[in-house]
Structure 1
Amino acid sequence: MRKFFTVIGGMGSLATESYIHLLNERTPSKKDQDYLDYILVNHSTVPDRTAHILDHSKPSFLPPLVEDIKQQSLLKPEFMVMICNTAHYYYKELQAATDIPLIHMPHMTVSVMKDKYPNAKKIGLIATKGTIADHIYEDEIKEAGFEFSMGDQEIRDQVESLIYDDIKIKGKVDAAKYYDILKTMHDKFECDVIVLGCTELSYAQEKAPDHPYNVADGQSIIVDKSIELGQKIRRGEKIDYTQIYK
């Protein structure tokens, strides 16, 4: 197979399944051959990202992801996407392990959000403790010129419960809890847009999209970018990967 891309996933598998479902659903197609060519690496045994970020004595997720990146690089994909926001903690180290472009999901999310909501003033972030601790999204949002809020401890605990208790453990979305989180971020913390800084939250958005709040969904955004780039490489177009976030 030539002119394909690689998806580094499995963190977690339901979120990766959501990415693949949206990718195939949104790809314009009338026959089998219209779909995109890609390889999925569903590496579900990668150590917990948040646990390591909060306590570096816990197993690191960097070595297995570097191994994945290097293995896939031997196959020469055109680009790679990594379906986990928190894993971007080691983005620089992962990109340094290969010459293949690795798309930066948090950076892309904020770039697209800035274009889509130019009048927004305050941006909320809901995410894992790891993503909050590593400041990936916080730095991107502030650099883009927005005010920023992560809510309070009560809302962060609700987010953790939705991600871990409901989606990762039970394999289902508590829609009422998800809606309450968005409502609180909008009403109490006055956020014009809420960034879904975890792919499990993207899974929640896919399963429970019926709400009135503006969200910036990194997984949905990278799905669209994957389709755009995948179609370009199929047509043989040369891509300037330094410009894809603009």
Structure 2
Amino acid sequence: MMRTLGIVGGMSWESTATYYRLLNEGVRERAGGLHSCPMVLHSVDFAPFAENMGVNDWESITNGLVHAAKSVESGGANAVVIATNTMHKAAPEVQAAVDIPLLHMADAIAAGAKKAGASKLGLLGTAFTMEQDFLSRPLMEKYGLEVIVPGNEGRSLVHRTIFDELCCGKIIDKTRCDYISIINSLIEAGADAIVLGCTEIGLLVRAEDVSVPLIDTVHAHVELALEYVFS
């Protein structure tokens, strides 16, 4: 008997589609036949969330996420997955609002780091993810992992291209080269794995592009979710 996942997605739908595919492929691989992943998906309109991020209105964002989490809970989900890194800023409030467990991205990243044998992680993501500690703090405090981020210019480029390009489905070779350069600077600073800490970055950067392991947070989060589905 598989457990049902509640997916809070749409931020952006580009990566939510990857979650959906990977979860179903993972269930088919484990269970075979015509089995697919039991899930309840609440996919939000991302535009208001992005606008609220732009004016630092996290109260509205949190309210929207809480509403979505309650929606999947009432729909029969046994756990909730926020299918984006940045929105884990509101993870404590979301968890407090529902009676089902939230499968946290930091736990997924830590599992990926353990698999890679890594202890110093270079983190890419939105400015919120790179500059605030809602992911880096649990990685350091709970798992003893060191987290480093790009310098100001690199952070600005990554943040801008996530919203202007990747969330809009635009995959640009020049941007890939820029990301690889930023990643190489993190490797030179001692990173022994790179966390693609925005769920769209895996659409752009591939394992063969860099010399250390990549922890693609979509894949890592899906693995954590599948463990729960079959537990």
> What residue identity is the alignment partner of 1:31?
G
Shift of 1:59: 7.0
Query: Number of paired residues?
Result: 224
The secondary structure found in structure 1 opposite 2:76 is coil
From 196, 207, 210, give the equivalent of 1:209: 207
Shift of 1:231: 2.7
- TM-score between both structures, scaled by the size of structure 2: 0.84
Q: Which residue of 1 aligns with 2:198?
A: 198
* Closer, same or farther: CA 157–40 of 1 in aligned 2, 3 Å: same
Superposed CA deviations along residues 174-231 of structure 1, whole A, max 9, x for unmatched, are 43333333222213x22111122111123334xx332232122222111112222223
The secondary structure found in structure 1 opposite 2:121 is strand
Answer yes or no: is the 8 Å Cα contact 1:162–1:177 preserved in 2.
no
Distance in structure 2 (CA, Å) of the matches to 1:20 and 1:154: 33
Bigger mean CA deviation after superposition, 62-71 or 211-220: 211-220
- Alignment pair present for 1:116 and 2:115: yes
Shift of 1:154: 1.9
- Alignment pair present for 1:16 and 2:48: no
Shift of 1:70: 1.6
Answer yes or no: is the 8 Å Cα contact 1:137–1:197 preserved in 2.
no
- Alignment pair present for 1:130 and 2:128: yes
Q: Which residue of 2 aligns with 1:73?
A: 73
Alignment of 1:38-49 (within 5 A): 38-45=39-46, 47-48=48-49
The secondary structure found in structure 1 opposite 2:208 is coil
Runs of 5+ unmatched residues, structure 2: none
Q: Which residue of 1 aligns with 2:182?
A: 181
The secondary structure found in structure 2 opposite 1:8 is strand
Distance in structure 1 (CA, Å) of the matches to 2:62 and 2:79: 19
The secondary structure found in structure 1 opposite 2:195 is strand
Distance in structure 1 (CA, Å) of the matches to 2:167 and 2:122: 23
Bigger mean CA deviation after superposition, 54-63 or 130-139: 54-63
> What residue identity is the alignment partner of 2:41?
L
Alignment of 1:15-164 (within 5 A): 15-27=15-27, 28=29, 30-32=32-34, 34-45=35-46, 47-48=48-49, 52=53, 55-57=55-57, 60-110=60-110, 112-118=111-117, 120-143=118-141, 144-164=143-163
Answer yes or no: is the 8 Å Cα contact 1:5–1:80 preserved in 2.
yes
Distance in structure 1 (CA, Å) of the matches to 2:193 and 2:144: 14
Answer yes or no: is the 8 Å Cα contact 1:123–1:141 preserved in 2.
no
Distance in structure 2 (CA, Å) of the matches to 1:62 and 1:124: 27
The secondary structure found in structure 2 opposite 1:61 is helix
* Closer, same or farther: CA 42–146 of 1 in aligned 2, 3 Å: same
Answer yes or no: is the 8 Å Cα contact 1:79–1:102 preserved in 2.
yes
Shift of 1:167: 0.8
* Closer, same or farther: CA 217–60 of 1 in aligned 2, 3 Å: same
Answer yes or no: is the 8 Å Cα contact 1:149–1:191 preserved in 2.
yes
The structure in which a higher percent of residues are helix is: 2
Answer yes or no: is the 8 Å Cα contact 2:65–2:94 preserved in 1.
yes
- TM-score between both structures, scaled by the size of structure 1: 0.79
Q: Which runs of 4+ in 1 moved over 4 A?
A: none
* Closer, same or farther: CA 80–96 of 1 in aligned 2, 3 Å: same
* Closer, same or farther: CA 59–170 of 1 in aligned 2, 3 Å: farther
Distance in structure 1 (CA, Å) of the matches to 2:46 and 2:180: 30
